[in-house]
Amino acid sequence: MKKWKKTLLLIAGALALGAGVYAEEVAPAVTAADAMFTANNIWMMISIFLVFIMHLGFATVETGLTRAKNTVNILFKNTAIVAIGLLTYALIGFNLMYPGDFSIAGIFGFGGFGIAAPEGAAGLIDYAGGAYSYWTDFLFQGMFAATAATIVSGAVAERIKLGSFLIFSTLYIALVYPFVGSWVWGGGWLAEMNFHAGSTLVHSVGGWAALAGILLLGPRLGKYVNGKAKAIMGHNMPLLTIGVFLLWLGWFGFNGGSVLSGDPGAVSYVLVTTCMAAAAGIIGSMITTWTVQKKPDLTMVLNGCLAGLVGITAGADVVTVGAAILIGFICGVVAVLSVLGFDKLKIDDPVGATTVHLVCGVLGTLFVGVFSPDFSFLTQLIGVLAYGAVCFPAAFLIFLALKKTIGIRVSEEEELKGLDIGEHGMEAYSGFQFFTNS
Amino acid sequence: MKKWKKTLLLIAGALALGAGVYAEEVAPAVTAADAMFTANNIWMMISIFLVFIMHLGFATVETGLTRAKNTVNILFKNTAIVAIGLLTYALIGFNLMYPGDFSIAGIFGFGGFGIAAPEGAAGLIDYAGGAYSYWTDFLFQGMFAATAATIVSGAVAERIKLGSFLIFSTLYIALVYPFVGSWVWGGGWLAEMNFHAGSTLVHSVGGWAALAGILLLGPRLGKYVNGKAKAIMGHNMPLLTIGVFLLWLGWFGFNGGSVLSGDPGAVSYVLVTTCMAAAAGIIGSMITTWTVQKKPDLTMVLNGCLAGLVGITAGADVVTVGAAILIGFICGVVAVLSVLGFDKLKIDDPVGATTVHLVCGVLGTLFVGVFSPDFSFLTQLIGVLAYGAVCFPAAFLIFLALKKTIGIRVSEEEELKGLDIGEHGMEAYSGFQFFTNS
Amino acid sequence: MKKWKKTLLLIAGALALGAGVYAEEVAPAVTAADAMFTANNIWMMISIFLVFIMHLGFATVETGLTRAKNTVNILFKNTAIVAIGLLTYALIGFNLMYPGDFSIAGIFGFGGFGIAAPEGAAGLIDYAGGAYSYWTDFLFQGMFAATAATIVSGAVAERIKLGSFLIFSTLYIALVYPFVGSWVWGGGWLAEMNFHAGSTLVHSVGGWAALAGILLLGPRLGKYVNGKAKAIMGHNMPLLTIGVFLLWLGWFGFNGGSVLSGDPGAVSYVLVTTCMAAAAGIIGSMITTWTVQKKPDLTMVLNGCLAGLVGITAGADVVTVGAAILIGFICGVVAVLSVLGFDKLKIDDPVGATTVHLVCGVLGTLFVGVFSPDFSFLTQLIGVLAYGAVCFPAAFLIFLALKKTIGIRVSEEEELKGLDIGEHGMEAYSGFQFFTNS
Amino acid sequence: MKLIIAYIQPEKLTAVKQALYGKEVFKMSVTNALGCGQQKGYHETYRGADVEVNLLKKVRLEIAVNVEFVDATVDAIISAARTGKIGDGKIFIQNLEECIRIRTGEKGAEAIG
Amino acid sequence: MKLIIAYIQPEKLTAVKQALYGKEVFKMSVTNALGCGQQKGYHETYRGADVEVNLLKKVRLEIAVNVEFVDATVDAIISAARTGKIGDGKIFIQNLEECIRIRTGEKGAEAIG
Amino acid sequence: MKLIIAYIQPEKLTAVKQALYGKEVFKMSVTNALGCGQQKGYHETYRGADVEVNLLKKVRLEIAVNVEFVDATVDAIISAARTGKIGDGKIFIQNLEECIRIRTGEKGAEAIG
Ligand SMILES: Nc1ncnc2c1ncn2[C@@H]1O[C@H](COP(=O)(O)OP(=O)(O)O)[C@@H](O)[C@H]1O
Ligand SMILES: Nc1ncnc2c1ncn2[C@@H]1O[C@H](COP(=O)(O)OP(=O)(O)O)[C@@H](O)[C@H]1O
Ligand SMILES: Nc1ncnc2c1ncn2[C@@H]1O[C@H](COP(=O)(O)OP(=O)(O)O)[C@@H](O)[C@H]1O
């Protein structure tokens, strides 16, 4: 921030595009390509910020939909996951997801530990065709990495041991997510088949693990009594709402950044389809909950909004605006029915993560094959099945190994008292009075 | 996100500017105009995000200033409004507000249902002189549309029937807002008179409807007892504060985006006047509340901040920094006095929406005629009156029709128990203990 | 927003770059330099927004870590500080920090009251070498100004008189902060020594004042009983977490904006080191709190995250990714130990501001001399000491003068009842039941 | 001395307080309670699962009075709290053996008011 | 008439309510309370400072019954609340002199149920 | 057996608890309450409207003791809670007919402590 040097540094900086050596006498003229590179990179950095703030969105959604006595635990998990995600992605994930060359054709490759930018100014410009810098690329992808584990966090909330969850997350983010990610984003076999899933991949990878976790943990105490689902109410609707709005905001970067450049037409089109699907998801779930439950349930409508967003993620760039509205609407309707359905099956998911991310993620990916002429339904189906076939067993095995060794579920007594006291020895809302009857 | 295709796609994408056909062999050189187009469009997309997040700001402000028992209801309304706003704007609003040609000269025109971008790359660049894409334009305007109804939401909170409110909002956003909006933004008769209101238009359109709603609903139970105003305290000051900061943040896009390009000098100047007015609004209201009420009231100061922001919205680009400070300060002072004044008149506005959006919106619009030599006070006055003359009766009639048919006010019993139980059958803060004595 | 004029205005606007006179017939061609100027300026405006939202982050962190009965007071202070910071910076601060010429060589200079942009289009482009506009520069710096006082706010919370705090803040922000700031950012003596502190400067300036305030105020009632530190629990962990995530988000602009251009390589590299340090801070503090306190304390981990962010702020652009991780990790570990240490010394800092901003700010500044070959440890040490030598006594004297005159501490009775009732006559959470036993 | 415990509808608290003041009963203690009585509860739903709420919000008053004030107190409560609808509440009267003012150590009838 | 006050573990409330319904005791009032008993507390820490929590969360029931219902009520509470672990709770029984239904003004045995 | 009910200032709870422990009274139940007594309330304002707060925050203790402990308990409470200022609080003593420990079914004097 040394303003006295600014003029010099900035002319140089802007032109030299990050190269180490600054010409102080003759500044080379700015080219249009430089300016475009800068603009594109700014767009991608904005997308980083937007995807980053989704982590806060997830944290508040999950907190809002669970009980006050487990709040510290949920916030803790979501904070730790971001750190674990970024660090393991730097160490392993980035080079596992984008191996460059595959060792096992189209299936597995690893580019080595750590991250390092290509050298010199030329390297910068050459990287990704001048669309953004190496570091931007890494950080954008790194912000996605933690998301998969965050999705699990909500589904297994209020009963999972903190330590086991952190170990699971580390393994799943560091190894499974980038491994299967490389099939599409790293240019593996699914990419070669012209499978088009975009970022829904993250949702299904997270969703399958959520399902595995729920099945191995079992429902929360008191959730199913005499075969009937009982309500275990979330404790903070404003937090939930804040979270959903932040997630919607983040989705602008999640989908818009996935265009991988600031291309005005392409990006803004994606923003429009994204918003239309979210809006239609709200309307779809609102009509459904009002009809089915007599009175409109806020949590269902907010789930419906997220369902619309997940549903459009695969096809945001390739379907029409009308199709986007239809996709959002269907996902909104499905969201409500799916939450009710999972409860019928006694699959206890406190925040509806499996509904939103797995069910609507799969639906959205299939819809690409329905609503876009450029993609085949069959390929989309193969892709969906392939992810399920690897992610679900992988997550199941990790959870099972933890269950057999250190255990994955807290004691009944701790579950009753709350994980905040049990795992952290503290409370989230000191001084507030609660009526705790469960 | 198929990285293996990235280099190719991106060079092509960046250059082809969203055109469907990508040249794979010879990429045409990037021009400075392309880069400028991309940069401008990025700015406008940022403004979209900022205006979007204002909806969360409104939701939290309104929630914070009302009682805990009506929280779910307020969050629900604010979520539904965003969806209704975006969808009706796509269906009708955009082409009613920007009809292209007017059927009734300068007063009414309609460009047809739905939205569709101009075709081909040329269409993209030609649209709005290459400042931003069609889709960016639509979404930026669409984000504004819902705002008018959101302003009403706070004013009629804690007593309006959910269904009636949603019907009102749909009609008002879909028809009234774009209709009167076309007079200025669509190039209608007020634009031809050189009326300069910028986005305060939204505030006054919302403000008049809020006033109509309040008058037809009457005050909340227990608000005026034996002719004296009683305090009905808002239940969550942190939520309120979060909301005001988010609104201030959003205002960077609300005012900055209204420049309609990323022009460095013009946009950054608008940001400075906006911030100065907000800051002066805080100081003005702080001095006033400290003097009048003996102790400084946080809710008044936060209202004062919003008052300063609304006040500067009309003139942000045409008044001096000094004038911006003065405008903000005056609006801050007026905000406090106006809240007290409305209470004297027994007009019960739980969140001060009429004060902030109507009173300060009108003031700010008039101030343009005072502080800028380029605009006439008389024209500004005519504009203000024109909006009042159409919006207030329109809103009044819609609300009256609803009152005579399905009713607009919840039952006394429901109002006492809270709309969360009454309209939604759920609670916002399950487990927390409340002392409910009203 | 007059769309009918758009095409014309925008072509003109984009090209004329804010100049007053628009050519309507022949629009001069856009140059690459114009586009780059626009892109860079957009980046800096984004940084403004990010730094702005840090104020909300501070407000919520401080609120979350203190008791419910002092919530209104904390929110009030943080709102007022932003206004005071921006207005005094416009009046005095900007020209004290960037005096142009120094009256006392390298130590003191003042460029006159008020702010005024260089005239004409040329002035715009020439300013800062075409990297951003005058107004962007002012607002970016102005957003930093209030931060120093905000840091103090948390440390002295729950016992300081509102009026005294506001007077202190005004003096400290208007005079002390820009005065010492000019030594580095204004091109003063420390800049000439090649001292490299970047924005940690803000943290240490705030941190020293926090320490002075704490020492003169003494601990909160009941904090140290019979020589042992008692827990006074913060009342809202979700608010705290929201705050820390918002601060991390803001840090993207705090550090990324300090590059002072949108240079893709340089900015994105800073974002990566910033994130890595934050993540490592989380892990470092998590391991430490889990070991030392048996169960992992959420507040410690969130402090650790901030500690990592403060720690990397000085060296974000000049250390390697590996060093960034190390710096973050060390600061995370130190954060936990420092909080415990301050408690041993009976220095009562409810939010850990001295730990995060002072201790880790100093550490981070020194680390530049350790991890970067381009900077000398000795110079870094001299810089750190120089700031301490001026800021601590200056803050101490202002606080002392206030203590001797109007007093700085609220009465014991008010402290027990809470400052919300005492200073503001209102409550933050009306209707909620509290168990108040302290 | 008697200890009067009354459960009333929360929204009646202000009216009851005014009525007690009118009878020169100025001292009382209030807590909030949940009550199960003749008044039937209501149903909430949350994410499709039904919740029967049969513990309704009530306010509990505890008023210690000298014997001669009992009737006035009871009348005041009834007059202000009665709406004739189920859920109006109930009054319980117990014997109170002793009452001590902490500040002064006064006991009995002197201490109560 | 008797006034029965019972302190139980919060998680037992639903079971106790069911047991009371089984014995045709339908009316009761509930508040939450903190209790100090044989059950020892637990330790929290907050930012390194130790917090001994020895006031544990309990639920307080207040049930007014006619004399002939006392045993049934006590039995119902015990049967549903007992786990055999420290902290199960305690029941207190006091004499109740009068009971008045606010809605109707009925008194005594009629009013109680 | 007696049931002692005491209303004290919230900030005195810890001191009172210590004093009771000193007299070997280890069991008690605590709720928070709002009280109207000699201590006058205070005024809040909210958006210009005046709010008179005359229900002040208090803590309510309920302690069941054997007769021989009554004096010690009352003394302990008074010694720790008294500041001499209005608002210190009040102690009420009632007869307690029975006390039952849920865990064991013990009754009377054995069950109380
Ligand atoms: N026998 C009882 N024991 C304890 N509390 C009671 C009893 N009967 C009534 N209550 C309290 O009084 C409240 C009002 O009682 P309710 O039966 O609704 O009134 P009503 O007799 O007018 O129908 C209940 O919610 C409960 O809190
Ligand atoms: N003497 C007493 N006075 C008031 N409350 C008591 C008394 N004894 C027990 N309690 C209440 O009952 C609860 C349970 O008592 P506890 O001693 O834990 O049960 P147990 O006798 O089975 O060990 C306590 O937390 C307290 O609220
Ligand atoms: N007659 C009463 N009935 C019920 N509660 C009472 C009565 N008198 C006092 N209290 C309770 O005791 C608290 C303290 O009483 P207060 O009159 O302020 O004490 P003092 O007698 O020392 O002035 C009150 O706030 C109230 O909760």
Question: How does strand F2-8 pair with strand F49-53?
Answer: unpaired
Using a CB-CB cut-off of 8 Å, the residues of chain A touching B28 are none
B80–A282 C-beta distance less than 8 A = yes
Classify residue A33: in a domain, yes or no: no
Number of domains in chain A: 1
- Give the rounded distance of the alpha carbon of D11 from its chain centre: 12
E97–D88 C-beta distance less than 8 A = no
Residue C33 CA to residue C40 CA, distance in Å, equals: 10
Classify residue A13: in a domain, yes or no: no
The residue-averaged pLDDT of D47-60 equals 86
% of residues, chain B, pLDDT over 70: 91
The C-alpha angle A165, A169, A174, rounded to 5 degrees, equals 160
Q: Tell me the per-residue pLDDT of B183-218, one tens digit each, with 9 for 90 and over.
A: 999 999 999 999 998 888 899 999 999 999 999 999
- CB of F103 shorter than 6 A to ligand 2: yes
Residue B98 CA to residue A302 CA, distance in Å, equals: 32
Using a CB-CB cut-off of 8 Å, the residues of chain E touching F28 are 35-36
Q: What share of chain C is helix, strand, coil (3-state, %, to 5)?
A: 70, 0, 30
- CB of E64 shorter than 6 A to ligand 1: yes
Q: Give the three-state DSSP class for A308.
A: helix
Q: Tell me the per-residue pLDDT of B279-338, one tens digit each, with 9 for 90 and over.
A: 999 999 999 999 999 999 999 999 999 999 999 999 999 999 999 999 999 999 999 999
Q: Tell me the per-residue pLDDT of D55-108, one tens digit each, with 9 for 90 and over.
A: 888 999 999 999 999 999 999 999 999 999 888 999 999 999 999 999 999 999
**pLDDT tens over chain A, length 438 residues:** 344 434 333 333 333 333 333 333 445 688 899 999 999 999 999 999 999 999 999 999 999 999 999 999 999 999 999 999 999 999 999 999 999 889 888 899 998 898 988 776 556 667 877 789 999 999 999 999 988 889 999 999 999 999 999 999 999 999 999 999 999 999 999 999 999 988 888 999 999 999 999 999 999 999 999 889 999 999 999 999 999 999 999 999 999 999 999 999 999 999 999 999 999 999 999 999 999 999 999 999 999 999 999 999 999 999 999 999 999 999 999 999 999 999 999 999 999 999 999 999 999 999 999 999 999 999 999 999 999 999 999 999 999 999 999 999 999 999 998 999 999 999 999 999 888 654
E–F CB contacts, 8 A cutoff, strictly below = 76
Residue of chain D minimizing CA distance to B430: D46
Q: Tell me the per-residue pLDDT of C145-185, one tens digit each, with 9 for 90 and over.
A: 989 889 999 999 999 999 999 999 999 999 999 999 999 99
Residue E29 CA to residue D61 CA, distance in Å, equals: 12
C424–B129 C-beta distance less than 8 A = no
Q: Give the three-state DSSP class for E37.
A: coil
User: B193: part of which helix (H) or strand (E)?
Assistant: none
Tell me the range of C24-33, C371-380, F32-41 where mean pLDDT is highest: C371-380
- Give the rounded distance of the alpha carbon of B66 from its chain centre: 20
Terminal-to-terminal C-alpha distance of chain A:
55
Give the pLDDT score at C11. Answer: 34
- Identify whether the C-beta of residue C350 lies closer than 8 Å to the C-beta of residue C331: no
Beta bridge partners of C160: C409
Classify residue B20: in a domain, yes or no: no
Beta bridge partners of F6: F61, F91
Say which residue, C2 or A369, is predicted with more confidence: A369
Using a CB-CB cut-off of 8 Å, the residues of chain D touching B436 are 10-11, 32, 57
Is the pLDDT assigned to residue B379 strictly greater than 50? yes
Residue C168 CA to residue F77 CA, distance in Å, equals: 43
Give the pLDDT score at C12. Answer: 34
- Identify whether the C-beta of residue E19 lies closer than 8 Å to the C-beta of residue E78: no
Tell me the range of A3-17, B5-19, B97-111 where mean pLDDT is highest: B97-111
Q: Which residue ranges in chain F fall short of pLDDT 50?
A: none
Give the pLDDT score at B199. Answer: 83
The crossing angle, in degrees rounded to 10, of helices A200-217 and A298-313 is 130
Give the pLDDT score at C227. Answer: 87
Q: Which residues line ligand 3 (CB under 6 A)?
A: D 27-29, 62-64, 101-103, 112; F 7, 35-39, 56, 58, 86-90
> With helix as H, strand as E and coil as C, how does B199-229 read?
CHHHHHHHHHHHHHHHHHHCCCCCCEECCEE
Q: Which atom number of ligand 3 is nearest to the Cα of residue F33?
A: 27
User: F5: part of which helix (H) or strand (E)?
Assistant: strand F2-8
Mutate to test the interface with F, among B66, B223, B289, B293 (most CBs of F within 10 A): B293
Give the pLDDT score at A120. Answer: 64
Give the pLDDT score at C24. Answer: 39
Q: Tell me the per-residue pLDDT of C42-71, one tens digit each, with 9 for 90 and over.
A: 999 999 999 999 999 999 999 999 999 999
The residue whose CB lies within 8 Å of the most ligand 1 atoms, and thus the one to mutate among E5, E25, E29, is E29
Say which residue, B227 or B372, is predicted with more confidence: B372
CA of F65 to the centre of ligand 3 (A): 22
E46–C231 C-beta distance less than 8 A = yes
Give the pLDDT score at C124. Answer: 66
The residue-averaged pLDDT of C367-379 equals 96
Classify residue A119: in a domain, yes or no: yes
- CB of F40 shorter than 6 A to ligand 2: no
Give the pLDDT score at A435. Answer: 80
Structural domain boundaries enclosing B399: 38-424
- CB of E31 shorter than 6 A to ligand 1: no
Tell me the range of A21-25, C12-16, E72-76 where mean pLDDT is highest: E72-76
Give the pLDDT score at A5. Answer: 39
**CB contact F85 to C (< 8 Å):** no
CA of E68 to the centre of ligand 2 (A): 26
CATH number at residue B50: 1.10.3430.10
Residue C205 CA to residue C201 CA, distance in Å, equals: 6
Give the pLDDT score at B143. Answer: 95
Enumerate chain B positions whose Cβ falls within 8 A of a Cβ in F: 229-234, 292-295, 297, 299-300, 336, 339-340, 343, 352, 435
Using a CB-CB cut-off of 8 Å, the residues of chain C touching F13 are 437
- CB of F28 shorter than 6 A to ligand 2: yes
% of residues, chain E, pLDDT over 90: 64
The bound ligand whose nearest atom lies closest to the alpha carbon of E9 is 2
- CB of E81 shorter than 6 A to ligand 2: no
Using a CB-CB cut-off of 8 Å, the residues of chain D touching F74 are 100
pLDDT band at B7 (very low <50, low <70, confident <90, very high): very low
Classify residue A44: in a domain, yes or no: yes
Q: Tell me the per-residue pLDDT of B49-61, one tens digit each, with 9 for 90 and over.
A: 999 999 999 999 9
A294–D48 C-beta distance less than 8 A = no
Nearest to B400 by CA among B169, B168, B158: B168
What is the distance in angstroms between the Cα of B140 and the nearest Cα belonging to chain F?
34
Nearest to D47 among A295, A297, A435 (CB): A297
Domain ranges of chain F: 2-112
Fold of domain F2-112: Alpha-Beta Plaits (3.30.70)
* Exposed e or buried b per residue across F65-92, where buried means at least 16 C-beta atoms within 10 angstroms of its C-beta: beeebbebbbebbbebbbeeeebbbbbb
Residue E104 corresponds to which tokens in the numbers above?
A: 């109707």
